[in-house]
């Protein structure tokens, strides 16, 4: 097994260390901030808080050269010193609070992280690691670092697997996360009338075979697939042919994680990781899950 990349480890140490602080800040930050993000979406106070905290924490990590966020128009240059292993400075891309509209309804949301060894916009093949924090009944973090996928539970306090003075206790609950062989759940975003006919026909087949698990936050819905096997999609829509999810901040990291677990991803015709972006805020239709279900999707859309 490859030696862990010290910069990648330091990035996820910083993400884990901020998680309890972000979680504690959510109750007081359910209101709109009065601003929009570069994708034209309403930004909540929770989005702004998480973005600023993570920008500070990740910008301080040696080996991180630039910080890019779904909430910011451009990358910001930070530090940039090469990592301890002599590797070049990485670009860290985040969705600071994915599913923040679930704040009002008190449902799951999280933070998505992608570590690229190329300046953005970059393809998913430039990822060296990816992960997500999920704020559910408990706080968990899933990390794919090139040598497998692990799941951690993160709590306030010291001890566990975490660094004693980081103020968090981290416990690895699975150090070799793989997709279950038998799929059981599905979750599809967007409105049924807006789905292309071929996707709607595919969805009808899937609905007859599996249980619906859709909560409106990609990290929560993908974690259902990661846990129980199945397929998640936010497809192309009639009024949004590129779908809703952002390639750099959501689709690439999630595709990297699911493919690292033995699953598959697709933009409808090829792996998400092969999508060539024009800009850092490009959107892309995202489909991830068990390979057989993604293959069936691509056949249905190619029909």
Q: Which of 67, 132, 234, 249 binds ligand AFP (CB under 6 A)?
A: 234
Please report how close the Cβ of residue 125 comes to ligand AFP at its closest, in angstroms.
23
**By CB under 6 A, is residue 291 in contact with ligand AFP?**
no
| Rounded CA separation 87/189 (Å) | 39
- In angstroms, the CA 142 to CA 68 distance is 20
- The response to whether 211 counts as a known ligand-binding position is no
Q: Which residue has the tokens 């060539």?
A: 276
Closest-by-Cβ residue to ligand AFP is: 101
Output the smallest distance, CB 257 to ligand AFP, in A: 15
Backbone angles phi, psi at 58, to 5 degrees: -80, -30
* Cβ count near 82 (within 10 Å): 14
Q: How far apart are CA 155 and CA 144, in angstroms?
A: 20
Query: To the nearest whole angstrom, how small is the minimum distance from the Cβ of residue 109 to ligand AFP?
Result: 7
Does 244 appear as a known binding residue?
Answer: yes
User: 290, 286, 19: which is closest to 169 by C-alpha?
Assistant: 19
Subset of 153-212 contacting ligand AFP (CB under 6 A): 189-190
Q: Which residues does 248 contact at the CB level (< 8 Å), separation at least 6?
A: 68, 93, 114, 120, 121, 122, 277, 280, 281, 282
Is residue 292 marked as binding? no
Order of strands across the sheet that contains 286-289: 211-212, 185-188, 230-234, 286-289, 264-266
* Residue span binding ligand AFP (CB under 6 A) among the ranges 51-59, 169-177, 216-224, 288-296: 216-224
Q: Per CB under 6 A, does 100 bind ligand AFP?
A: yes
**Binding residues among 19-78 for ligand AFP as defined by CB under 6 A:** 41
271 lines the binding site for ligand AFP (CB under 6 A): no
Would you say 62 is a known binding-site residue?
no
Is 40 labeled as ligand-binding? no
Binding site for ligand AFP (CB under 6 A): 41, 98-101, 189-190, 216-218, 234, 244-245
């Amino acid at each position: 097994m490859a030696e862990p990349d010290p910069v990648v480890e330091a990035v996820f140490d910083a993400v884990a260390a901020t998680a309890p602080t972000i979680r504690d800040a959510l109750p007081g930050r359910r209101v709109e901030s009065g601003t929009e993000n570069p994708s034209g979406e309403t930004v909540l106070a929770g989005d702004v808080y998480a973005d600023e905290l993570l920008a500070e924490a990740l910008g301080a990590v040696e080996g991180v050269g630039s910080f890019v966020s779904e909430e910011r128009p451009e990358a910001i240059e930070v530090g940039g010193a090469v990592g301890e292993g002599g590797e070049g400075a990485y670009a860290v891309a985040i969705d600071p609070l994915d599913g923040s509209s679930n704040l009002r309804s008190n449902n799951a949301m999280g933070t998505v992280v992608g570590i690229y060894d190329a300046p953005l916009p970059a393809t998913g093949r430039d990822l060296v690691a990816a992960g997500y924090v999920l704020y559910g009944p408990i706080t968990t973090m899933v990390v794919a670092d090139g040598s497998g996928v692990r799941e951690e539970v993160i709590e306030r306090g010291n001890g566990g697997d975490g660094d004693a003075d980081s103020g968090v206790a981290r416990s690895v609950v699975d150090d070799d996360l793989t997709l279950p062989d038998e799929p059981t759940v599905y979750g599809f975003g967007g409105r049924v009338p807006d789905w292309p006919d071929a996707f709607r026909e595919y969805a009808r087949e899937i609905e007859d075979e599996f249980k619906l698990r859709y909560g409106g936050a990609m990290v929560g819905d993908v974690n259902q697939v990661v846990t129980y096997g199945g397929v998640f999609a936010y497809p192309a829509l009639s009024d949004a042919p590129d779908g809703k999810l952002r390639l750099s901040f959501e689709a690439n990291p999630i595709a990297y994680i699911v493919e690292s677990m033995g699953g598959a991803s697709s933009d409808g015709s090829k792996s998400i990781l092969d999508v060539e972006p024009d800009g850092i805020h490009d959107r892309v239709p995202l489909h991830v899950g068990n390979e057989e279900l993604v293959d069936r999707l691509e056949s249905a859309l190619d029909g």
